[in-house]
Amino acid sequence: MTEAPTPGEAAITLSLIVPVKDEEEAIRPFFTRVLPILEGLRTQHGPGFGWEILFIDDGSSDATLAEIIAAHNRDPRIRGLSFSRNFGKEAALTAGLDHVRGQAVVPMDVDLQDPPEVLGAMIDKWREGYDVVYGVRANRMSDSLPKRLTADLYYRAHNWLSDDKIPEHAGDFRLLDRKVVDVIKQLPERNRFMKGLFAWGGFRQTAVEYDRTERKVGTTKFNYVRLWKLAVDGITSASTVPLRVWSYVGAMIAIVAIFYALYLVGRTILFGIDVAGYASMMVAVLFLGGVQLLSLGVLGEYVGRILVEAKHRPIYVVRQRIGDPAGDA
């Protein structure tokens, strides 16, 4: 652990937001790799370059919180918030943005799959005048083939449906200027999809490529069910196209039905009444019933989100503060 500076020695230039849940094994390796990099940046940019690390404990049930407290006792630049329960990564990122003090803010995972060595390149781009510097994975070979295929499909679908374009293969690992953070803090929605909010904010952006490695310590807390939920949240929070598309589908079916009805009338006039047709009738009924149920499901997704927003519940609840991070809980 590095030696902490005296109070007031340096303003906070760089803040790291690190959401964690049941990551007691990963925290010390994180410090071992990240702290020398932060101190190297401080040496490079001068004593006016201050840094902090803000951990967001998202309802851990192991010794994660104890590790954060122990780290804070060794270095007060390491702070933390502990949630009353698990609120999810998007809520954890929101809490981090609410409470960090740096002029440049970088959300990153504790698993070190996004290499902290890229921080230097991000800061260089930031000092060139870019407000958002997002990390782009040069490859996704550390992910399984199904995950790579579904990720490609999702990014393309999201960018086709939404006006807020997300850079492909860019995660939450990015540098945000303070003015970008202040804009995102003003957004009131409870259904949070942070990549979409980062994209909505705009500002001058650029990319830094890096190679993502496999996780060495601990296990991922994301499974395909959570990833699917996150994907649905991303689409529904950024676009109303899934609602509008059913208007078009309904119009096309109505047009086809009108022409089919005219055909039936004409055939009846010319050839008389035909009793046969049970199979075609059942196909039509089942097809239209399926379309109606699917459209109701899409509508229900949006209505459910309206219900969540109407309740105006807080996005997260803080149970304990480590280092007394400033901000609104």
The string of pLDDT tens digits covering residues 155-187 is: 666 556 666 666 666 678 889 989 888 888 888
Q: pTM value?
A: 0.66
At what angle are helices 224-238 and 194-201 packed, to 10 degrees? Answer: 30
Q: Secondary structure of the chain in the HEC alphabet?
A: CCCCCCCCCCCEEEEEEEEECCCHHHHHHHHHHHHHHHHHHHHHHCCCCEEEEEEEECCCCCCHHHHHHHHHHHCCCEEEEEECCCCCHHHHHHHHHHHCCCCEEEECCCCCCCCHHHHHHHHHHHHCCCCEEEEEECCCCCCCHHHHHHHHHHHHHHHHHCCCCCCCCEEEEEEEEHHHHHHHHCCCCCCCCHHHHHHHHCCCEEEEEECCCCCCCCCCCCCHHHHHHHHHHHHHHHCCHHHHHHHHHHHHHHHHHHHHHHHHHHHHHHHCCCCCCHHHHHHHHHHHHHHHHHHHHHHHHHHHHHHHHHHCCCCCCEEEEECCCCCCC
- Whether the pLDDT of residue 257 is over 80: the answer is no
Q: In what order do the strands lie in the sheet with 78-83?
A: 205-210, 132-137, 170-177, 104-107, 12-20, 50-57, 78-83, 318-322
- Whether the pLDDT of residue 117 is over 80: the answer is yes
Q: Decide if 51 contacts 101 (C-beta within 8 A).
A: no
CATH of region 12-221+314-322, choose from 3.30.230.10, 3.90.550.10, 3.40.630.10, 3.40.640.10: 3.90.550.10
Domain boundaries, the chain: 12-221+314-322, 241-311
242-255 confidence digits (pLDDT tens): 666 666 666 676 66
51-73 confidence digits (pLDDT tens): 889 999 888 888 888 888 888 88
Per-residue pLDDT band at 215 (split at 50, 70, 90): low
d(CA 293, CA 109): 39
- Whether the pLDDT of residue 19 is over 60: the answer is yes
Greatest C-alpha distance within the chain: 97
pLDDT of residue 16: 92
- Give whole-number Cα distances, 264 to 97, 283, 305, 329, in Å: 63, 16, 43, 65
278-288 confidence digits (pLDDT tens): 556 656 776 67
- Whether the pLDDT of residue 262 is over 70: the answer is no
Per the listing, tokens 């996005």 go with: 315
Task: Supply the mean pLDDT for the chain.
Answer: 75
How many other C-beta atoms lie within 10 A of the C-beta of residue 94? 24
Name the more confident of 279 and 256.
256
pLDDT of residue 329: 43
pLDDT of residue 4: 45
pLDDT of residue 302: 72
Report the DSSP pairing between strands 50-57 and 78-83.
parallel
